[in-house]
């Protein structure tokens, strides 16, 4: 597979961000490798904390021409100067969100392992559809997005597809021919040297 055809990295923030440290770490990752997009995905519902984290991450991302989207909080996109939103409710709010944010915003939809929801999201105007987790996780309900789903999607559907959740080098190697993006977050942030871990995961694509 040519370098230009390899899947791109879609970076996801940790659920908790230490503002004194994370922006520097994020900058190191963005400087070390090409990142297609950054998703701000925080556990907190505190709007002030979200806004402060968004400001810090947006500054780092936009300085490097990397788009930044926020998980769920559609109403914050324009206010915080972000590029779009990642919706977690499959196809349900894609059409309404697209209408609210306009054609230029990035609107992505997480569709679990549902081919049907993915197709609906694509038809409703999603820029990408994300499936996962690709392996069992303690957090999930046991549903796994199998390789067959990605293979079928990449052969039949033009909307870009993202693989996410429980990625490791074995699964990345397996899914590289059938996905457009890998959403990588906790896989690297839980380590002391996220840059090195990301390089190892990327090496698995080749």
Task: Residue 195: count other Cβ atoms within 10 Å of its Cβ.
Answer: 15
Nearest 5°: the CA angle 159, 64, 190 is: 80
With a CB cutoff of 8 Å and minimum separation 6, the contacts of 154 are 161, 177, 178, 179, 180
Tokens standing for residue 134: 């690709």
- Would you kindly state where each structural domain of the chain is located, as residue ranges? 3-164+180-203
pLDDT digits 0-9 by tens, 18-40: 999 999 999 999 999 999 999 99
pLDDT digits 0-9 by tens, 40-74: 999 999 999 999 999 999 999 999 999 999 999 99
Q: What's residue 138's pLDDT?
A: 76
Q: What's residue 3's pLDDT?
A: 58
SS3 (DSSP) at 6: coil
Q: What distances in angstroms separate CA 149 from CA 6, 8, 108, 144, 154, one per listed residue? A: 18, 19, 18, 10, 9
pLDDT digits 0-9 by tens, 76-127: 999 999 999 999 999 999 999 999 999 999 999 999 999 999 999 999 999 9
Q: What distances in angstroms separate CA 118 from CA 83, 112, 150, 151, one per listed residue? A: 22, 9, 11, 14
Q: What is the mean pLDDT of residues 130-157?
A: 92
| Residues 97 and 107: beta-carbon distance below 8 Å | yes
Q: What is the mean pLDDT of residues 169-197?
A: 97
Q: What is the mean pLDDT of the chain?
A: 95
Give the largest CA-CA distance in the chain.
45
**What superfamily in CATH does domain 3-164+180-203 come from?**
Aldolase class I (3.20.20.70)
């Amino acid at each position: 597979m040519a370098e230009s055809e390899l899947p791109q990295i879609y970076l996801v923030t940790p659920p908790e961000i230490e503002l004194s440290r994370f922006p520097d770490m994020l900058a190191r990752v963005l400087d070390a490798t090409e990142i297609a997009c950054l998703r701000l995905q925080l556990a907190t519902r505190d709007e002030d904390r979200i806004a402060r984290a968004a400001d810090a991450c947006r500054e780092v991302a936009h300085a490097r021409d990397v788009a930044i989207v926020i998980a769920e909080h559609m109403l914050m996109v324009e206010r915080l100067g972000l590029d779009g939103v990642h919706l977690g409710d499959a196809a349900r709010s894609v059409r309404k969100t697209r209408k609210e944010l306009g054609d230029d915003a990035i609107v992505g939809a997480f569709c679990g392992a549902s081919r049907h929801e993915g197709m609906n999201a694509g038809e409703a105007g999603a820029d990408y559809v994300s499936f996962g987790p690709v392996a069992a996780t303690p957090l999930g309900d046991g549903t796994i997005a199998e390789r067959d789903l990605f293979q079928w999607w990449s052969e039949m559907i033009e909307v870009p597809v993202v693989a996410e959740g429980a990625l490791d080098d074995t699964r990345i190697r397996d899914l590289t021919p059938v996905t457009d993006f890998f959403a990588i977050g906790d896989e690297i942030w839980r380590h002391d040297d996220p840059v090195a871990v990301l390089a190892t995961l990327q090496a698995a694509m080749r």
